[in-house]
Structure 1
Amino acid sequence: MTADEIVPQIAVVIVNYNTADETAASIASVLAMTRTPTEIVVVDNGSRDGSVETLRARFPEIAVVDAGENLGFAAGVNRGVAHTTAPWVLLLNPDTVVLDGAIDALLAYARAHPEHRVYGGRTVRPDGSTDPSSCWGAMSLWSLACFATGLSTAFKRSRIFDPESLGSWQRDSVREVPIITGCLLLISREDWTLLGGMDETYFLYGEDADFSARAWEHGMRPVIVPSATIIHAVGGSTASSGRKMSMVMAGKATVLRRRWHPAAAAIGIALLQVGTAVRALPAGARGRRGTTWQVVWGHRRAWRTGYPASRPALFGDAPAEPTTRTTDIPLGGKS
């Protein structure tokens, strides 16, 4: 069988926004470390750094879709999947490096355990320590109350007081989880179509929580497969962390408004605001300015409405943050 006759089994979809070098490194790792025949599609969300030209020149064997504008993550992913044909779809962050055999192991597990239908892996930081952002617990009134009272920060990684973090679990054992993030997510094309892809109401953050919730409603059982390990770069300045956390909060507010009963959603959003104040006010009292939570508090009128209303205030015409899910932060993940 010639190379042209090899039928791709996995469609790897990456959304890029002004991250040409990081995306190129991620693509190179997929090509070098994956034995399963793959097709790779990069959707460029209106980058200004020459990403489209750079990626097309470096990787003529992949498809680079020039969206021409900032579609956001959900719409970008949907656009990318629509350009693929493989029977399995893999969402991958642009700031990741795939380790040897990771994608092969994820697909092998999915084929051997078809009952789960949605699959994630283990992410580690460049230094080898666990990056927990491959999965999270779902929001509940209890988890939001813990956030509002500061318990999720005081008892970080506690299964009781920081439940969205899933406790101290290092993502090193097979486990069903409420939410698998778009950092590394495998699903069959049939199930992707059944779920209708990502909800494009979400611009950035929250869409994978919504996606996973719909998966559970359809009888799927999202699971983490630790043999599928990738490196995920995480970092950023305090200012950018404040902007990013504001976007996370907008995603959470959207999940609450779209998936919870209106009365419960109102309580949940109120708890988000209280928790933000609990973290922002002490720094202000000490004369510190521009901390992560002060920035989030300052943006509260924007994020508490949820998407799509939150988008103009948080992003404008030239967002300061990449719309590629460069990290995923639970409520208790930053103090």
Structure 2
Amino acid sequence: MSLPKVAVVILNWNGKKYLHDFLPSVMASTYPNMEVVVGDNASTDGSVEFLKENYPTISILTNDQNYGFTGGYNRILNRVEADYYVLLNSDIEVVPGWIEPVVKLMESDDLIAAAAPKIKSFRQKTHFEHAGAAGGFIDKFGYPFCEGRIFFDIEEDKGQYEVSKEVFWGSGAALFIKKKYWDECLGFDERFFAHMEEIDLCWRLKNMGLKVMYCAESEVYHVGGGTLDTESPFKTYLNFRNNLVLLKKNLPFSRALIIIPIRMCFDLMALLRFISEKKYKNAWAVSKAHQNFIRRLFTKNITSVKSRHRNYNLKGMYNRSIVLDFFIRKKTHFIDLDPKDFL
């Protein structure tokens, strides 16, 4: 039986340096039925010319402008034919056999729609990386966290997360998804532009009764922060705005009416913390995020991808507040959390 076709799709925007540094590792992948595609979001740094000169076998697809992570991928993947898409950040180093374990895991169950490998830090390869670590989870108020990373506390990989398992979300830095399910859920919601769009995608898949997995047998190394700096007010704005959109879209209406006001109170605490740290632009970004979210409650957005509620799969949701557990109860590592508190 032939192996399913895998398209590794890298979305690029002015990332020539990362393409130079990390494409060689991608091209050295050992999976036999693989195509490498670079989708370019109207770069101006010579990325496309670099690819044409140095990687003539790579498929190059271009967008006419920068549509962000969400719109960029939606437009590129509409032109790619494969059984599996791998959405891979340009600032990731892979090892030769990184694809095979994930595909084997996903082929074992038709209900597995998406999966992610273990994501570790490129700069400190003994430690997990913020973007996805060893699989993503979410608390009852919409705060995402990972095995190996809760808020800013990043663990060393000591072999404590070596079991592949069902999770709530997989990182968009290195996300495997079956094409049929990408098509069925209509890809990314372009309102997100960037940040948390993969959590929304995974949540929508789970609302369809499907599964998202963490594959411990595959490992990649992520630089992180390649597009927006951690302290960027725009990144702060996107994270706070998108988190509220995430909750509104994917929670049942009666549940959202309770959770969203509580979450906005937590956000105000974060705003006050930014002010106390004299990060006034970040504080204003939180306020703008709330203003934008409230305005959107009263306007119709035609680019929104709705969540289909068929058969809720809440596996991986933490039925407590990770904020209180982390900051008040000092549960700073994932292994400190009680497994009975996960749905």
Classify the TM-score, shorter chain. 0.7 to 0.9
Tell me how many residue pairs correspond in the alignment. Answer: 287
TM-score, normalised relative to structure 2: 0.72
1:207-238 Cα deviation digits (max 9, x unpaired): 11111111111221111001111000135897
Contact 1:203 1:307 (8 Å CA) reproduced: no
Cα distance, 1:191 vs structure 2 = 1.6
Contact 2:275 2:283 (8 Å CA) reproduced: no
Q: Secondary structure at the match of 2:131?
A: helix
2:138 alignment counterpart: 138
- Determine which of 50, 55, 64 is the counterpart of 1:54: 50
Cα distance, 1:110 vs structure 2 = 1.6
**Between structures 1 and 2, the one with greater helix share:** 1
- Determine which of 101, 104, 111 is the counterpart of 1:108: 104
- 1:302 matched to 2:288: yes
Contact 1:203 1:308 (8 Å CA) reproduced: no
- 1:123 matched to 2:119: yes
Gaps of 5+ in 1: 1-5, 285-289, 311-330
Contact 1:243 1:295 (8 Å CA) reproduced: no
Q: Which amino acid aligns with 1:116?
A: I
Contact 1:202 1:307 (8 Å CA) reproduced: no
Partners of 1:97 and 1:157 lie apart in 2 by 20
- 1:228 matched to 2:218: yes
Identity percentage of aligned residues: 22
Partners of 1:58 and 1:40 lie apart in 2 by 14
- Determine which of 180, 187, 192 is the counterpart of 1:190: 180
268-277 or 217-226, which deviates more: 268-277
1:30-78 Cα deviation digits (max 9, x unpaired): 1112333211222211222111211222211112222121101111111
1:313 alignment counterpart: none
- 1:181 matched to 2:179: no
Partners of 2:260 and 2:273 lie apart in 1 by 20
Contact 1:251 1:306 (8 Å CA) reproduced: no
Cα distance, 1:198 vs structure 2 = 1.3
Partners of 1:246 and 1:66 lie apart in 2 by 28
1:276 alignment counterpart: 270
TM-score, normalised relative to structure 1: 0.74
- 1:80 matched to 2:76: yes
1:257-303 Cα deviation digits (max 9, x unpaired): 3334363364145234323224213323xxxxx4xxx4321212322
2:243 alignment counterpart: 252
Q: Which amino acid aligns with 1:40?
A: V
Distance 1:258 1:217, change over 3 A: closer
Q: Secondary structure at the match of 2:112?
A: coil
Distance 1:59 1:309, change over 3 A: farther
Cα distance, 1:20 vs structure 2 = 1.1
1:244-265 Cα deviation digits (max 9, x unpaired): 2332222212213333436336
Gaps of 5+ in 2: 297-321, 328-343
Distance 1:95 1:14, change over 3 A: same
Contact 1:254 1:306 (8 Å CA) reproduced: no
Partners of 1:219 and 1:117 lie apart in 2 by 10
